[in-house]
């Protein structure tokens, strides 16, 4: 099967590559000239400098979503200038009711529900990857990378730039300066052509997205292919592009060694001085390195319920070193999951683009080697208490408008252990409505003999493969797609996150999309159905499923979705017929309040004792802004599983965060995460605690002058309670981090 699939993938790439490479830009598309200025511009949200009168002007007067290419309910103007080192953007957003403007103080990348104006900049004009910058009316920043033609957005990318915002009697004004050192592009003494578009988010009863150009929804899979073009930037340089980021970290902790009666005793305590840095050693290639670094994360993970789970839980990456250039390494199969590098002592990374070629490489030494042992019906987790060295190489080449071919190689080496992986992948826009993605990987893995025996792994070398292909066609009013996956039993991606192997899966789906007008009650209605089937490599059925999804977008930014399905699932050689229904409703009745509610119920397997059961899950959410400064986030998860009408377990998981923003740079935050699980001992065949309670709390003061000039001061602790033991503190930690970004 793998050889036939490899042949199919290579045939597709060989057939379509010449056609894609031969695609030219539309010779009739208009290119706008951006003026160069020598005047000094102060970023204060006033737009009173004379230079703005000579700027290239874009009018934002077309609503592209939810209504399609109709006159916008409000207008805006954006003005563009550049000098040898910076891009300048100023915008005036007009609003007949300025008192209804939605603007709140928040941390960066966290104001997406507000009014805002953004810029999309495709500096290589490759129609595949672009930088996006957003500013709300108070100057709060958001930035992200758009890739895969604009269909994938990654807001973990952080650049150093400056902005200001000001609410006025006619609406609001924003002013932006983006240093060229924050971007990657191909410098030239001649004029360059970039893809560019200003956009406006105008959230009221509907979230109106307004632009200066129309979007053809028959080409929705390639938004970046439709951007207007601007010409200029002759002689623009990113400068020396050197940044040094020294950090000072201090940590003090106490631990209760003898739970629950023992006293709290001094635990880990240390001070650490480290340095990381970035160097643009060529005009569009960056070297990042860290010596004695702080790879910690300040933001706590959202708690997840780890009970009756078939496969390992996934947690997103939050550490800045690994987030930088993250989109370069993304492929259809998640062969790279940087949180598998658990406790790195050092690391360095090279990333960038030259012409049509994108390259990324990173290397790190890990003090602890975490492992996932995947199978067809479940996964186990383990670790090697030894250091390992991780290396990743990524290369990708543009082959046409929005299309790419790439290779990925990963290698992790330890004592009597290695995990190596390599393969080919591609994103092919056969047309602006038809997209093919594919990937083929081969792996070679060996564990120490004692570890292999403990976790039921074969001793010696394990050779495996994984393949994925998906073909989709999306037009304005319909979607059809098909996909196929094949993971061999011995495939391992120890630097990735693939907890299931030994399976073959195919899926077929499609549906109808209704796009409303500006007067329609529902702005969009989606009705999608799909069928998929999964078998192991011996031909045994693992699962077959038929489901239908109906989604309605209505007034007050409301959404109602329901997923109804039936499946046959085989687990431990027993077959289970199942029904499931997920109902999601969300609404934003005002700029200060968001409410969400998930109801999920149906049949589920008790994976411990292989029994049929029924489950219920209720998950409400509430986000509430009390004025511009104070924010409350509340969520709650209630879940039970019943066996023959009797409850096996009942779980409660409330989470709360309270944030007070002093200004656009500083805030206080408190987080509480509580978990309570009650178990029915009569339904368990082995000894378990009838009740388990945990409580996590964190207090944090944060000051950010920019993403890397920061001060964090905080406290966190953990509590544990059992059936006959009240919640008792197990540890507490005080921490301090100071970081400074020094640019040269």
Structure tokens at 70: 């109709």
Token pair for 55: 């700027």
In 129-284, the DSSP E strands lie at: 130-135, 141-147, 152-154, 162-167, 171-179, 192-203, 207-211, 229-232, 242-256, 264-282
For residues 271-282, give the mean pLDDT: 83
Among the residue ranges 272-281, 442-451, 599-608, 676-685, the one predicted with the least confidence is 272-281
Q: What is the mean pLDDT of residues 218-247?
A: 87
194, 121 contact by CB (below 8 A): yes
> What is the reported pLDDT for 5?
46
Report if residue 294 sits inside a domain.
Answer: yes
Residue 49 near residue 38, CB atoms below 8 Å: no
Among the candidates 197, 232, 267, a domain finishes at 232
Q: Quick check: 178 and 81 in contact, CB under 8 A?
A: no
Residues 149 and 43 in one domain: yes
Q: Kindly state whether residues 221 and 259 are assigned to the same domain.
A: no
Give the pLDDT band of residue 13 (cuts 50, 70, 90).
Answer: very low
Q: State whether 218 and 284 are in the same domain.
A: no
Distance CA 705, CA 160 (A): 10
Mean pLDDT on 625-644: 96
Tell which wins on pLDDT, 267 or 722: 722
The answer to pTM > 0.85 is: yes
Return the CATH number at 164: 2.60.40.1190
Q: Is residue 341 part of a domain?
A: no
Residue 17 has pLDDT above 50, yes or no: no
Per-residue pLDDT at 582 exceeds 70: yes
Query: Are both 293 and 190 inside the same structural domain?
Result: no
190 shares a domain with 45: yes
Residue 673 in domain? yes
Q: Torsion over CA of 276, 282, 284 and 287, rounded to 10 degrees?
A: -20
- pLDDT score for 281: 79
Tokens of 655: 């989470």
CB 23 within 8 A of CB 225: no
255 and 132, same structural domain? no
Question: Domains in the chain: how many in total?
Answer: 2
3-state class of 379 per DSSP?
Answer: strand
Count of residues for the chain? Answer: 744
Domain limits for position 284 = 240-308+647-744
The pLDDT of residue 313: 83
Mean pLDDT of 526-536: 98
Indicate whether 218 and 281 sit together in one domain: no
Residue 402 CA neighbour count, 13 Å, CB half? 29
Q: What is the pLDDT of residues 329-378, one digit of tens each?
A: 999 999 999 889 888 888 899 988 888 899 999 999 998 899 999 999 99
* Contact in structure between 87 and 79 (CB atoms under 8 Å): no
Say if 390 falls within a structural domain. Answer: no
At 563 the pLDDT is: 98
**Residue 6 pLDDT > 50, yes or no?**
no
Q: What is the pLDDT of residue 222?
A: 87
Task: Kindly state whether residue 437 falls inside one of the protein's structural domains.
Answer: no
Q: What percent of the chain has pLDDT over 90?
A: 73
Residue 192 lies in a domain: yes
Q: What is the mean pLDDT of residues 512-520?
A: 91
The DSSP string of 387-431 is -EEEEEEEEEEEEETTEEEEEEEEEEEETTEEEEEEEEEEEEESS
Query: Can you tell me the distance from the alpha carbon of 720 to that of 718, in angstroms, rounded to the nearest whole number?
Result: 7
Note whether 220 and 276 are same-domain residues.
Answer: no
Of 191, 209, 232, the residue at which a domain comes to its end is 232
Does a structural domain hold residue 473? Answer: no
Residue after which a domain boundary falls, among 189, 211, 232? 232
DSSP type of residue 663: S
Task: Give yes or no for residue 314 having a pLDDT over 90.
Answer: no
Q: What is the mean pLDDT of residues 384-401?
A: 92
Asked if residue 289 lies in contact with residue 347, where contact means CB atoms within 8 angstroms, the answer is yes
The whole-number pLDDT of residue 719 equals 97
Rounded to whole angstroms, the Cα distance separating 741 from 744 reads: 10
Mean pLDDT, residues 101-129: 93
Average confidence score pLDDT of the chain: 91
Whether 219 and 247 map to the same domain: the answer is no
695-737 pLDDT, tens digit each: 999 999 999 999 889 999 999 999 999 999 999 999 999 999 9
Residues 180 and 39 grouped into a single domain: yes
Q: What angle do CA 325, 158, 177 make, to 5 degrees?
A: 125
270 and 172, same structural domain? Answer: no
Q: Which residues on adjacent β-strands are paired with residue 143?
A: 133
Question: H helices then E strands: how many in the chain?
Answer: 3, 40
Q: Clarify whether residues 659 and 706 are in a common domain.
A: yes
Among residues 651, 601, 670, 662, which one has the least CA distance to residue 629?
662
The pLDDT value recorded for residue 9 is 45
- Whether the per-residue pLDDT at 45 is higher than 60: the answer is yes
472 within a domain of the structure (yes/no): no
């Amino acid at each position: 099967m793998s050889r036939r699939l490899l042949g199919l993938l290579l045939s597709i790439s060989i057939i379509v590559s010449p056609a894609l490479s031969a695609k030219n830009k539309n010779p009739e598309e208009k290119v706008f000239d951006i003026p160069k200025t020598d005047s000094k511009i102060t970023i204060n949200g006033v737009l009173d400098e004379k230079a703005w009168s000579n700027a290239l002007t874009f009018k934002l007067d077309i609503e592209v979503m939810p209504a399609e290419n109709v006159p916008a309910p409000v207008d805006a103007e954006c003005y563009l200038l550049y000098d040898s080192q910076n891009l300048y953007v100023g915008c005036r957003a007009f609003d007949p009711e300025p008192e209804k403007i939605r603007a709140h103080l928040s941390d960066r990348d966290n104001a997406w529900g507000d009014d805002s104006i953004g810029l999309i900049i495709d500096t290589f004009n490759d129609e595949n990857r672009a930088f996006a910058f957003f500013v709300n009316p108070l100057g709060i920043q958001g930035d992200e990378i758009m890739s895969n033609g604009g269909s994938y957005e990654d807001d973990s990318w952080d650049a150093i730039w400056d902005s200001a915002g000001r609410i006025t009697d006619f609406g609001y004004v924003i002013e932006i300066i983006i240093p060229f050192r924050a971007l990657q592009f191909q410098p030239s003494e001649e004029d360059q052509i970039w893809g560019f578009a200003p956009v406006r988010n105008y959230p009221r009863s509907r979230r109106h997205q307004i632009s200066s150009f129309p979007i053809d929804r028959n080409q929705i899979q390639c938004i970046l292919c439709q951007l207007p073009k601007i010409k200029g930037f002759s002689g623009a340089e990113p400068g020396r592009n050197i940044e040094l980021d020294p950090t000072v970290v201090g940590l003090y902790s106490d631990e209760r060694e003898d739970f629950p009666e023992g006293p709290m005793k001094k635990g880990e305590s240390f001070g650490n001085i480290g340095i990381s840095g970035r160097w643009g050693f060529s005009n569009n290639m960056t070297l990042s390195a860290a010596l004695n670094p702080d790879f910690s994360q300040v933001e706590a993970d959202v708690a997840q319920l780890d009970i009756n789970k078939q496969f390992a839980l996934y947690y997103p990456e939050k550490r800045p070193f690994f987030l930088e250039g993250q989109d370069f390494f993304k492929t259809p199969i998640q062969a790279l999951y940087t949180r598998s590098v658990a406790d790195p002592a050092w690391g360095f990374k090279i990333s960038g683009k030259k012409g049509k070629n994108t390259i990324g490489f990173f290397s790190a030494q890990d003090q602890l080697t975490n492992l996932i042992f995947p199978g067809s019906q479940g996964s186990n987790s383990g670790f090697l208490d030894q250091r390992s060295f991780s290396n990743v190489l990524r290369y990708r080449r543009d082959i046409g408008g929005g299309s790419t071919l790439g290779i990925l190689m990963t290698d992790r080496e330890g004592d009597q252990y290695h995990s190596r992986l390599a393969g080919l992948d591609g994103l092919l826009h056969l047309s602006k409505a038809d997209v093919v993605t594919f990937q083929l990987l081969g792996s070679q893995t060996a564990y120490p003999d004692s570890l292999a025996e403990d976790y039921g792994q074969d001793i010696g070398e394990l050779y495996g493969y994984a393949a994925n292909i998906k073909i989709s066609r999306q037009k304005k009013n319909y979607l059809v797609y098909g996909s196929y996956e094949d993971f061999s039993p011995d495939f391992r991606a120890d630097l990735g996150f693939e907890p299931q192997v030994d399976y073959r899966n195919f899926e077929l789906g499609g549906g109808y999309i209704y796009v409303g007008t500006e007067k329609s009650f529902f702005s969009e209605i989606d009705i999608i159905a799909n069928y998929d089937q999964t078998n192991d490599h011996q031909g045994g059925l693992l699962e077959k499923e038929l489901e239908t999804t109906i989604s309605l977008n209505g007034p007050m930014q409301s959404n109602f979705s329901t997923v109804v399905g039936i499946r046959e699932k085989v687990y431990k050689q027993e077959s289970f017929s199942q029904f499931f229904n997920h109902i999601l409703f969300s609404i934003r009745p005002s700029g200060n309040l968001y409410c969400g509610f998930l109801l999920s119920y149906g049949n589920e397997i008790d994976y411990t004792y292989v029994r049929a059961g029924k489950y219920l899950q209720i998950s409400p959410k509430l986000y509430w802004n009390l004025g511009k400064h104070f924010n409350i986030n509340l969520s709650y998860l209630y879940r039970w599983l019943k066996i023959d009408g009797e409850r096996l377990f009942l779980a409660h998981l409330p989470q709360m965060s309270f944030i007070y923003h002093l200004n656009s740079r500083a805030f206080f935050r408190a987080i509480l995460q509580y978990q309570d699980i009650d178990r029915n001992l009569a339904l368990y065949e082995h000894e378990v605690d009838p009740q388990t309670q945990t409580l996590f709390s964190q207090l944090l003061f944060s000051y950010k002058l920019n993403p890397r000039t920061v001060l964090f001061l905080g406290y966190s602790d953990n509590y544990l309670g059992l059936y006959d033991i009240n919640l008792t503190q197990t540890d507490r930690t005080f921490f301090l981090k100071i970081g400074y970004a020094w640019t040269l």
